[in-house]
Amino acid sequence: MKVLLIGSGGREHALAWRLSQSPRLTQLFAAPGNPGIAGHAALVGIDVGDSAAVAAFCRKEGIDLVVIGPERPLVDGLVDALAEAGIRAFGPDRAAAQLEGSKSFTKEICAEANVPTAAGRTFTDADAAHAYLRATGAPIVIKADGLAAGKGVTVAATLEEAHAAIDACFAGVYGAAGSSVVIEERLTGEEVSFFALADGERAVPLGAAQDHKRVGDGDTGPNTGGMGAYSPVRAMTPELTERVMAEIVRPTVRAMAARGTPYRGVLFAGLMLTAAGPKLIEYNVRFGDPECQVLLTRLESDLLEAILATVESRLEVKLHFSDEAALTVVMAARGYPGAYATGGEIRGLDRAEALPGVKIFHAGTAIRNGRLVANGGRVLNVTARGRTVAEARARAYAAVDQVDWPDGFCRRDIGRNAL
């Protein structure tokens, strides 16, 4: 079958890599893709924000399935537009994608489904938000209600930090995403990214990973889109996995179906493992990035078959993962997540990938004048498998040290909680 992959980051490179291994695949296209994805798919120069253009390409090429990587096209309704054109797509429609598109919507669903989550309130007025904050105190969490590319959340240790975060939201730092603000209690415990597939009625666990959001070693500095991840997570025992499915994922899927907005696709639950049990921090409606890279590095089942089972509402598959660990280190441009320069040449990837168990996913690269250059904030995902997290980590950092990119940097403590 012919598949079109939407997206251009490290997550999409990992998806392309795994999709290309399916015996069911006859041809893979990617829009817009990146130089790494080009090793697995034919790149297509269409505007993925133009649903009519995407549908026209699918009709022209006889595309059987569209796999959507990033959240923005899902929240904007690309699945709906493709469905109207008679084209199947993997991912939730616009209504269901509100689980990520609106944090206040997720709070409503949690209340309806009795899903354990942080207590919180939503504000559309800055003065009311500041007054609530003064009454509540710190530490506290301030979230832009809408999509903010992973940067709209402030875990504030002080009232000063929290007031500044509210001001930033209402001042338009996050665009329309910050026109509404969610203020919620700060949960304490171990944070885990948990993934499931849902076909509108059923849900099956897809695995867990641990992300590292802060830019600096020791979890210091501002939040980013993610500086590295590893899987499996020791805390996520089979018993805890079933508890998360029973108390969080399945009730959410049932509540969405009861609303007439069934959820189909990947459901990414950001969890806090508190002393009282797992609690939901937030939902995302796609694979995490860079969690996707380590999950798919460990996946042994046919990804395309699992995706088809989800799209066709016959999700009775049991996914198989390697017992080995996987760890990915994000190499980012100096200055990220603030201002950073692009265009710096990257060398040594062949040398790095020649090391045992190593795979490098391109997250923000381009080819200019025949040279591989940095073209984003998060640029490479240097990933490795190993018998243990420690071995995967040693292999990943050995590969990082083979990459010749003077303008890049990375955290040196990915996997610290597992060691």
Parse the chain into domains and list their residue ranges: 2-93, 125-179, 188-311, 325-418
Residue-wise pLDDT for 225-237, tens only, equals 999 999 999 999 9
For residue 283, give Cα distances in angstroms to 105, 212, 235, 375, 378.
Answer: 10, 17, 20, 28, 22
Range from 148-157, 195-204, 263-272 carrying the lowest mean pLDDT? 148-157
More confident residue, 177 or 183: 183
pTM for the model stands at 0.94
Look at domain 125-179 and name its CATH class. Answer: alpha beta
Let me know if 69 is exposed, middle or buried by CB neighbors in 10 A (0-12, 13-18, 19+).
buried
Q: At CA 363, angle to CA 358 and CA 365, rounded to 5?
A: 105
Q: Is it true that domain 2-93 has CATH number 3.40.50.20?
A: yes
Q: Is it true that domain 188-311 has CATH number 3.30.470.20?
A: yes
Fold designation for 325-418:
Glycinamide Ribonucleotide Synthetase; Chain A, domain 4 (3.90.600)
Q: Rounded distance, CA 361 to CA 374, Å?
A: 13
The DSSP 8-state label assigned to residue 248 in this structure reads: I
Mean pLDDT value of segment 11-29: 98
Residue-wise pLDDT for 108-117, tens only, equals 999 999 999 9
227: left (phi over 0), alpha (psi -120 to 50) or beta: alpha
Strand 65-68 versus strand 220-223 pairing type: unpaired
Please list the residues that pair with 183 across neighbouring strands. Answer: 121, 142
Q: Is the pLDDT of residue 150 over 90?
A: no
Residue-wise pLDDT for 47-62, tens only, equals 999 999 999 999 999 9
Q: Is the pLDDT of residue 78 over 90?
A: yes
Q: Rounded distance, CA 178 to CA 182, Å?
A: 9
Q: Rounded distance, CA 409 to CA 355, Å?
A: 20
Contacts for 253 with CB less than 8 Å, ≥ 6 apart? 198, 200, 201, 202, 203, 262, 263, 267
Residue type, 42: A
